[in-house]
Structure 1
Amino acid sequence: MRKRVVCLASDEQEIQNFTSEFAEDLEVWYFDNPTNFLSWLAKGEYFDAIFNSATLTSPLGLNLIRTLKKDIGIKEPVFWLTNDAVSSNLETLLAEAGVSDIFSQNPEKEKLLTRLDYLSHSGKTAALQSKKNPYAYKNPIGKRIFDVLVSVTALLCLSPLFLLLALLVKLESKGPAFYYSYRVGTGYRTFRFWKFRSMRPNADKMLASMKNLNQYQKSSVEEPTQQFTSLCTACAAAGTMCQNQLIDGHGKPVCEKQYKVAKRAENGAAFIKIANDPRITKIGMFLRNTSLDELPQLYNVLRGDMSIVGNRPLPLYEAEKITTDQFAARFIAPAGITGLWQVSKRGKGGNMSEEERKELDIEYAKSFSLKKDLQIILKTFPALFQKENV
């Protein structure tokens, strides 16, 4: 039976060469960004090893390996593939991150398979068990204890307020007092996300006709996506030809980078936020402006779906647009009720761009700690009294 291995790389040609060489011995699953891989991993798919040929600093590189080994806790071996010279310091860095062995991009077949057999044997039982027990992000123990203590205390103390708000929601409009939608959190895991209902019962059906009101939507004055040039701006300024070119429907060469940027613009903004949303009820407006609609997420925190502080879990239609290497790192962090971007501009009267929000999410993912969480919580209370209707 062929072993199943995961290849992480941004160069498709490298993967094709690897797959062709080991087709008879290995079943190769290829991922070019961490979001898709973490989503696949969360489904409980088993594998025998990971082969990583990404650069050290890319989203598929060293930080992802650390997360897989230390936070998610995978037991399967990780092989680092590179054609560059590896210094003793780099070997130490890779070993500390969890890399089991280092091979060239074109490894000797028998040597690699022998090493794979040896290293994957002890982890086979755990790999097969992952079909029933999908890998999940593990919060640092201090952060998890803090989350449980805060959520239990808050749920007990606020239970009379919960009853009052639920009654007010039901009195204004027909429908349940609580509302859940599926959100994408840490590791691209999907869960039920609870809130007090603040919108009319048919709000989801109205969304498609209101996307032109999205405050994250890019300006309509941008150039049409069909108007390409054979050189992207960066290459034209440098006086060089684009390294990766595609052929459009008219047989003309276009820069791959330029094409991808245009397609992202064509697909619309990743986040959706509508100012003065007409779907919101009167009591819903009050709940949102005071952030009381978020209180049921304390139940999500108690369950372990979320943390008190983290990156906001995203609706499916938003999460599926953030799968590029540049922004997928925001999913390698706890999902939370409040976070860095909420306290950075919310309530200060200024609009936050989509790019700013993504960058703040990534900043938190790289540097979160209990101390930083406490600082964000202290800043959250003033931000509740926001000046804009979002």
Structure 2
Amino acid sequence: MNNPIIALVGFEKDFQHIDFDACNFGDLQIVHFENGLRLVQEWTEQQLNVAAVVSNSEILSNGGLSLLETLKKRQMPSTPFFLVVRYFNANLRILALTAGVSDVFRVPVEKERLEKRLNFLVQHWTSLNREVKITSRPVYHIGFAKRLFDVFFAGLALILLFPLFLIVAISIWVESKGPVFYYSLRSGTGFKVFRFYKFRSMYVNADQKVKDLKHLNQYDLDQEKKEVRKPELQLCNSCVALGKCQYPVYADGAQWCEKDDLYINSQKSGSAFFKIANDPRVTRVGHFIRNTSIDELPQLWNVIKGDMSIVGNRPLPIYEAEKLTTDKYVLRFAAPAGITGLWQVEKRGRGEMSEEERLVLDNTYALKQSFWNDIRLILKTIPALFQKENV
């Protein structure tokens, strides 16, 4: 296919907010792709002449900045990249534009505005891309000393703790059949999304119980929220044929569909964090490895990969990170993501930590971060591991 095309990603056939076939895009041909993976696959195999990409995805979801980053890593030809979203604010817009998104449209989309914006960028993309080159500057650069310490410490710990890894893995599997390890997508330094590894401490069906336990959220006790969710996940038209969701948004032990209105609405209010005291979803082995922080040990592999550091602010599930884009809280993402940090040492185990206190401690660490301060926090972490608070 040599004709220039507009790649529409993640749009259902019955998408009501804009009729793309009625738009005037000149000689550009419209081609639908179920998801970003299919776009990349066909773009590569068929040598498609993609003039622009329009993705129906939230900014921090799989079809948003993650797809844009994938296109860059695959070294696909540079083209205008647009997002059609249902939820966004001024800070998310800045985040998207800084990452290289050409523009963000909120549904319902103004047909004339989309036409004018897309046609202009396609026609002038070569000159605009040459004259105004968008570069992403890392929010935080790990110094040589800190990186050397991270690799040495994590590598040595993985070797020495291998027998413990084996014992824990067998114990988890014996009590509750299923995967020993799991990962969730987390947002770390500069909102970078990566796979975050842990030992499984919950029963395999823990995600099905989240909706029944949200009223116990310790960060939400001072807010009264009424939430009604469907008892089972309802698949959209583009997902029914495959029998599974193609637009997943992951959190720690839970999954939503980014096209679920109830999920989108939940982002507009409520606490950013989710934690339950004496969580009934946790296994007996899970209680032990959580209380001793053994469940965190697989994150040593994240340190080796460079996703995290030994000391830093905890990386957050995407649905939590979406709520912390205001000037008051975004500073926490300027620090390295880490296994242990200031709030774990200062507050964990004392039972009285509000969401506000946790965020203040994250910002404080970001402002005062240094290699020697990290060493001090590591020395203070050891007694904090043996906590009394059962969370």
In structure 2, the partner of 1:332 is 334
Alignment of 1:170-185 (within 5 A): 170-185=173-188
Aligned to 1:83: none
Query: How high is the sequence identity, in percent, across the aligned residues?
Result: 55
CA distance in 2, matches of 1:302, 1:358: 26
The answer to whether the aligner puts 1:211 opposite 2:214 as a matched pair is yes
Q: Indicate the residue corresponding to 1:271 in structure 2.
A: 273
Give matches, 1:218-257, under 5 Å: 218-220=221-223
- Cα 1:311–1:165 change in 2 (3 A) is same
Q: Runs of 5+ in structure 2 lacking a partner?
A: 1-80, 104-126, 227-264
State yes or no: 1:169 paired with 2:172: yes
Q: 2:381 corresponds to which letter in structure 1?
A: T
In structure 2, the residue matched to 1:310 is 312
Which position in structure 2 is the counterpart of 1:138?
A: 141
Matched, 1:352 2:377: no
2:155 equivalent in structure 1:
152
Distance of 2:97 and 2:169 partners within structure 1 = 37
Change (3 A) 1:40 1:337: farther
Contact conserved, 1:198 with 1:285, CA < 8 A, in 2? yes
CA contact (8 A) 1:147 1:308 kept: yes
**CA 1:39–1:315: 2 relative to 1, 3 Å:** farther
SS in 1 for 2:184: strand
CA deviation vs aligned residue, 1:109-156 (integer Å, no higher than 9, x gap): xxxxxxxxxxxx9x959947x6xx995742122211111111111111
Amino acid of the structure 2 residue aligned with 1:376: L
Q: How many Å apart are 1:39 and its aligned residue? A: 5.6
What are the residue-to-residue correspondences of 1:259-298 with 2, within 5 Å?
Answer: 267-298=269-300
Q: Which amino acid in 2 is paired with 1:274?
A: I
- C-alpha spacing 1:171/1:127, structure 2 compared with 1 (3 Å): farther
With over 3 angstroms needed to count, the CA separation of the structure-2 counterparts of 1:266 and 1:319, relative to structure 1, is closer
Deviation at 1:266, TM superposition (A): 7.2
* Deviating more after overlay: 153-162 vs 275-284: 153-162
Give the aligned residue type for 1:178: F
**Equivalence for 2:373:** 372
Q: Following the alignment from structure 1 to structure 2, what is the Cα–Cα distance between the partners of residues 143 and 328?
A: 23
Looking at structure 2, the residues matched to 374 and 36 of structure 1 have their Cα atoms a distance apart, in angstroms, of: 37
What is the Cα deviation at residue 199 of structure 1? 0.4
Instruction: Note closer, same or farther for the CA distance 1:165–1:41 as it changes in structure 2 (3 Å cut).
Output: farther
Rounded Cα–Cα distance in structure 1 between residues aligned with 2:279 and 2:357 = 22
For 1:305 and 1:179, the matched residues in 2 are separated by 16
Note the C-alpha offset of 1:290: 0.2
Structure 1 residue runs of 5 or longer lacking an equivalent are 1-26, 48-120, 225-262
2:208, 2:97 → 1: CA distance?
Answer: 29
Preserved contact between residue 187 and residue 332 of structure 1 (Cα < 8 Å): yes
Secondary structure class of the residue paired with 1:216:
helix
- Aligned residue for 2:218, secondary structure, equals coil
1:166-187 superposed Cα distances (whole Å, 9 cap, x missing partner): 1111111111100101111111
From the CA coordinates, give the structure whose radius of gyration is larger: 1
In structure 1, distance between residues paired with 2:351 and 2:368: 25
CA contact (8 A) 1:39 1:189 kept: no
Q: CA separation of 1:219/1:153 partners in 2, compared to 1, >3 Å: closer, same or farther?
A: same
The one-letter amino acid of 2:272's match is: A
Q: Distance in 2 between matches of 1:125 and 1:334?
A: 32
Asked if the contact 2:331–2:366 (Cα under 8 Å) also holds between the matched residues in 1, the reply is yes
Instruction: Quote how far apart the aligned CAs of 1:366 are.
Output: 1.2
Question: For residue 387 of structure 1, what is the aligned residue in structure 2?
Answer: 388
Residues 16-75 of structure 1 deviation map (CA, whole Å, 9 limit, x = unaligned): xxxxxxxxxxx9x99843x65446545x5589xxxxxxxxxxxxxxxxxxxxxxxxxxxx
Count, aligned residues: 246
Alignment-mate amino acid for residue 382 of structure 1: P
Distance change >3 Å, CA 266–CA 45, structure 1 → 2: closer
The two structures have a TM-score, normalised by structure 2, of: 0.57
| AA matched with 2:277 | A
The C-alpha deviation readout for 1:193-247, integer Å capped at 9, x for no partner, is 000000011112211221110100041479x9xxxxxxxxxxxxxxxxxxxxxxx
Residues 26-41 of structure 1: pairs in structure 2 closer than 5 A: 32-33=90-91, 37-38=94-95, 41=98
Question: Aligned with 1:308: secondary structure?
Answer: strand
TM value normalised by structure 1: 0.57
Amino acid at match of 2:358: R
Q: 1:305 to 1:38 in 2, by over 3 A?
A: farther
